[in-house]
Amino acid sequence: MAAPGENLRINSDRLWDSLMDMAKIGPGIAGGNNRQTLTDEDGEGRKLFQSWCEAAGLTMGVDEMGTMFFRREGTDPNALPVYVGSHLDTQPTGGKYDGVLGVLGGLEIIRSLDDLGIRTKHPIVVTNWTNEEGTRFVPAMLASGVFAGMLEQDWAYDRTDAKGKRFGDELVRIGWKGEEPVGARKMKAFFELHIEQGPILEDEGIDIGVVTHGQGLKWLQVTLTGKESHTGSTPMPKRRNAGLGMARVTELVHEIAMDYQPDAVGAIGHMDVYPNSRNIIAGRCVFTVDIRSPDKEVLDEMDARIRDGIATICETLEISAAVEQVGHFDPVAFDETCVKAVRDAADRLGYSHRNIVSGAGHDACWINRVAPTAMIFCPCVDGLSHNEAEEISKEWASAGCDVLFHAVVETAEI
């Protein structure tokens, strides 16, 4: 397979303009984005993306989870396509680049191939996976998980948001429930460009992260039940305070994660208190423990220790607990051939690079189970993400997309 020439580059201005245009849809309140999955804003972003892809001559397919596939024909229509993409949905206080860079980077490859009059042997398919973030509907990477056969589609349809709306109903409401059975598509490979969402590349002054692995994740939804009572007249020994329980579990999760440094993280980002009244002892608290590690044994050990710790806290405070695992994937080792294509591309293009393990979860983590998969990271300012202040430079975006371009074109063969 001929490797692409080092002069093969994307159009940096056009990529940046598309990122800025997409960022105008579902604006946040502090310069970022709030384009949560299956909201009207998500629907608007999908429509804009569809218009761009169809203007580039791509044909659209949509599966039963709403994932969007845009296909550019190759010289061999029977050759397995090379997929490239990420997600357009954002966190409620998300940035302009998390996920979006990978989707629009895929489109930029198509536009650049057209500029250069290049037709690859294998078709190329640009993809927007539904509900990568898992913030409105738990868990994260929902559609790619169903595509990989790791999550049940009916279970996914029944996931409800904080207002009790069903995923399946919202998909119909915004008009993006496709006809295509999920997971029927076969791929030669899948590549995902993404911002690092951590500080390593920027701190080390490195252009490209060659993602060799992704850490494993567990989300445990915990419901602590105590007894609502008056915050003024209930004697301290008589209280059954679910709020105190949640505070202790929050500390417990942090302490346990700190026991496994540097290879573990743990936090509780989602917390609901009921009835959430200033002068009522919290009778019920529902929250989600997010623990991650590149080491499966560590992740399982943290899980077990947290469950034990919750039982002890409940006994002391005379409250009860229900713990449900609502999200999980094991640590991932990406495909070595695809990872090598990424590393060779960075070398050929003269970009500095280093191997890196992904701290965040990505659709690629699931797709790696059904197709050879690799990821490319670009740096982000202060390593910040899942914050409206998320920022990257145009140069970082272009370097990442150039490497994506070479890895995809080499795999799709010219």
Residues that bind Mn ion (CB under 5 A): 98-99, 330
Distance between CA atoms of residues 393 and 399, nearest Å: 10
Q: Is 140 in the site for ligand HGY (CB under 6 A)?
A: yes
Say what the alpha-carbon torsion angle 141, 146, 152, 156 is, to the nearest 10 degrees: 50
Coil, strand or helix at 254: helix
Q: Does 360 bind ligand HGY (CB under 6 A)?
A: yes
Cβ neighbourhood burial of 409 (10 Å; 0-12, 13-18, 19+): buried
Instruction: Choose the contact partner of 403 out of Mn ion, ligand HGY, none; CB within 5 to 8 A by kind.
Output: none
Buried b / exposed e over 81-101, threshold 16 CB at 10 Å, is: bbbbbbbbbbbbbbbbbbbbb
Query: Of 8, 98, 114, which Cα lies nearest the Cα of 53?
Result: 114
CA dist., res. 328 & res. 139, Å (int): 8
CB of 106 to Mn ion, least distance (A): 14
| Lookup: tokens for 108 | 């930029």
> Which one of residues 361, 372, 379, 400 is an interface residue with ligand HGY (CB under 6 A)?
361
Using Cβ positions, the residue closest to Mn ion within the complex turns out to be 99
189-to-239, 337, 370 alpha-carbon distances in Å:
57, 10, 9
Least distance CB 292 / ligand HGY (angstroms): 8
Task: Output 136 or 343, the one with its CB closest to ligand HGY.
Answer: 136
> Which residues contact residue 65 at a Cβ distance below 8 angstroms, ignoring those fewer than 6 apart?
130, 131, 142, 143, 146, 147, 153, 156, 171, 178, 182
**Among Mn ion, ligand HGY, none, residue 28 binds (CB under 5-8 Å by kind):** none
Q: Which is nearer to ligand HGY, 64 or 133 (CB)?
A: 133
Q: 99 contacts which partner out of ligand HGY, Mn ion, none, CB within 5 to 8 A by kind?
A: Mn ion
Smallest separation, CB 218 to Mn ion (Å): 8
Residue 102 binds: one of ligand HGY, Mn ion, none (C-beta under 5 to 8 A by kind):
none
The DSSP secondary structure of 323-339, one letter per residue, reads EEEEEEE--EE--HHHH
Q: Which does 139 bind (CB under 5 to 8 A by kind): ligand HGY, Mn ion, none?
A: none
Of 41, 42, 108, 132, the one binding ligand HGY by CB under 6 A:
132
- Residue 134, interface with ligand HGY (CB under 6 A)? yes
- What string marks each residue from 73 to 112 as x (binds ligand HGY by CB under 6 A) or -? ----------------------------------------
Nearer to ligand HGY, 360 or 409 (CB): 360
Give the range of 36-44, 123-131, 132-140, 183-191 binding ligand HGY by CB under 6 A. 132-140
Smallest distance from ligand HGY to CB 98, Å = 7
Among the listed ranges 39-47, 109-117, 128-136, 296-304, the one in contact with ligand HGY (CB under 6 A) is 128-136
CB 275 within 8 A of CB 228: yes
Distances (CA, A) of 114 to 12, 106, 201, 345: 15, 13, 31, 20
- The reply on whether position 388 binds ligand HGY by CB under 6 A is no
Question: Quick one: the chain helix, strand, coil %, rounded to 5?
Answer: 35, 25, 40
CB of 362 to ligand HGY, least distance (A): 7
Site string for ligand HGY, 225-244 (x = CB under 6 A): --------------------
Nearer to ligand HGY (CB atom), residue 127 or residue 225:
127
Among 169, 166, 70, 167, residue whose Cα is nearest residue 124: 70
Q: Which residue ranges make up the site for ligand HGY (CB under 6 A)?
A: 132-134, 140, 360-361
